[in-house]
Structure 1
Amino acid sequence: MTTIFRSESAYRPLTHALKKSPVDRGFFLSRRSSGYHCDSSASYGFPDDTISSTTWQAMKSSEGFLEPYLNHLAPWLYTDSVIWTIVGLSGGFLFSSRFVLQWLHSERSGRLVVPALFWHISFWGSLLSLIYALHLDKLPIILSYFFLPALYARNLWLLKRGKEVDKEVSRVQ
């Protein structure tokens, strides 16, 4: 049996009434575009004994993986809004457009070229995608984007340092 709650105000008292994780009571609560769902027919077991029951419940609950830790610091991160859709689409567009930019520069020069703008777009696209992944609060997506902004920031730093060295060399000559 699935019960659909159209608002969060109807959904939250149910989670607080359960006191424990919804999985403990045989319920599975989830946020969907059509509302908040309470599925009492679902049964979720542990995949193996290496994951503790608390970790497994945190990963399977509708609250998300990081929400219990970050919600008091950044409650805006877990509110549903059209702005989050725009952030997610912008990050994906920026991150994908870097390859089009690189392709156009390579075609124009007739050889493989990676322009400096490629690294700027990579950094900002991966940063927006990471922020959107934090909003989605799904561990595989967060881990996919977690290290990318740091890697691209390092490439930008190396690019800047290389330009400074080139200026110094041309000044000496």
Structure 2
Amino acid sequence: MIIGFVAQGMFFGRFFIQWIVSEYKGESTVPLSFWIFSVLGGGLLLLYAIHRKDPVFIFGQAGGLVIYLRNLMLIYKNKQKAKTA
């Protein structure tokens, strides 16, 4: 249950960070830390779902994790392109 609460805290944290960064910039933006918190929180929630043996929860978290990781891959890819240009 502790893992579940930590994971939920991370998920809340990602929205909090996104809100603060957007307020600071004066426009809606999604910072890198949002995706990092998404992967960490999603991974922990997936572990919790597996522990609970909840197939609906497992499926939902696994799908989200794929999207979060893909976003991090795209960010990394674009940073690498920018370095070589």
In structure 1, the gaps of 5 or more residues are: 1-84
2:27 corresponds in structure 1 to: 111
In structure 2, the gaps of 5 or more residues are: none
2:70 matches 1:157: no
* Larger Cα-atom Rg: 1
Name the aligned partner's letter for residue 83 of structure 2. Answer: K
Task: Please identify runs of 4+ aligned residues in structure 1 that moved more than 2 A.
Answer: none
Q: Shift in Å at residue 146 of structure 1?
A: 1.8
TM-score w.r.t. the length of structure 2 is 0.93
Partner Cα distance (1:153, 1:95) in 2: 15
- Structure with greater strand share of residues: 1
Q: Structure 1 vs Structure 2: percent identity of aligned residues? A: 34
TM-score w.r.t. the length of structure 1 is 0.47
Partner Cα distance (1:168, 1:124) in 2: 29
Q: How does 1:34-113 map to 2 (within 5 A)?
A: 85-113=1-29
Aligned length: 85
1:132 corresponds in structure 2 to: 48
